[in-house]
Amino acid sequence: MEQLIKLSQEHDHIAIITLNRPEAANAMSNSLLHQLNQILQKVNEDTAINATIITNAGEKAFCAGADLKERKNMTNEQVIETVAYIGKTVNAIEHLRMPVIAAINGAAYGGGLELALACDIRIASQDTKLGLTETSLAIVPGAGGTQRLPRLVGLGHAKRLIYSAKPITAAEALNIGLVEQIFKKENLLNEAIKLAESIAANGPIAIEQAKLAINTGMQTNLLSGLAIEHEAYKKTIPTEDRLEGLHAFSEKRRPRYQGK
C-alpha cells in the first residue's frame, strides 16, 4: 500500500504527521483519509506524545482539499459520504488530546484549510496562499469551514473569504488572525518543532486540560467557561507533575514532568 501519510517523532514527545501525496497536491482521497485516521488514533493513544505537527511533503501545496478527480465519478450519495468522512477526520484532529500545530508549507485550499482550522496553532511559509474556495465550484465548505473560520477571524472576514472564494496571502492571513506566524519556507518545519518543544516541555496534563478548557469554553458563555476552567484546574492539583513543578522552581532547575 502506498504510504500517503508519514509519521515520525522528534525528541520522543513530538509527533510529526506528513501528508505525503505531493504529486496530487496532497488532496484528500479516501485512501489518504483512511491512513490519516489510523495515524491520528495511534498518536492520540501514545501517552509519550505531548505535541503534534501536521505538515506536507513537497512545497507546492499543504493540501488542496478534496480529491476532485476521485469525486467526479461518484454518485451524489457517495459525495455526501466522502465530505462527511473529511469532516469526521477534521474533527478527529481537533479532538486530539494534545496541542496540534499546522505547519503550512504551500497552498491550503478548501478542505486543506479546513484541516488547518482544526489545529490549535497555524504557522505558514511566506509564499503560502490560503482560502475556502468551495463556492467557486458551486458548493459550500463542508468540513467545518463555515463554523471554524468565523470563530477564528470574525464574521466579516469569514464571509468575505467564503463568498468570494478568493485565496489570500500568508501576510494577509497573519493580519486577520488566520495564521499565528509566518516564516521562510526553509525555516518553517524547524520553527514548528521549536514551538512544539516549548509546548512539550510543560506539564502534559496541564496542557491537555488547558486545551480542553479553551476549546470547550469557547462554545459557551463566560460564566460557564469559568466553571469549565475551574474543573480543569482541579484535575491538575493531585498530580505528581504539579509537585515536581514546585520542587523544580524552588531548586532552580528544569522540571522533569512524567504526565502523572
Q: Which helix (H) or strand (E) holds 58?
A: none
For residue 99, give the nearest of 11, 19, 180, 215 by alpha carbon: 215
Catalytic residue among 57, 65, 102, 114: 114
Catalytic residue among 106, 111, 131, 145: 111
Percent of the chain that is helix, strand, coil (3-state, to 5): 50, 15, 30
CA 242 centroid distance within chain: 27
Helix axis angle, 30-45 relative to 76-94, nearest 10°? 20
* Cα→Cα distances 118→42, 149, 197, Å: 18, 10, 20
Q: Which three cell numbers stand for residue 79?
A: 459525495
Planar angle of CA 183, 184, 186, nearest 5 degrees: 120
Q: Is 114 a catalytic residue?
A: yes
Catalytic residue among 15, 57, 64, 66: 66
Catalytic residue among 134, 142, 200, 208: 134
Planar angle of CA 163, 166, 172, nearest 5 degrees: 110
Q: Is 66 a catalytic residue?
A: yes
Contact criterion met (CB below 8 Å) for 209 and 236 = yes
Write out the catalytic residue numbers.
66, 111, 114, 134
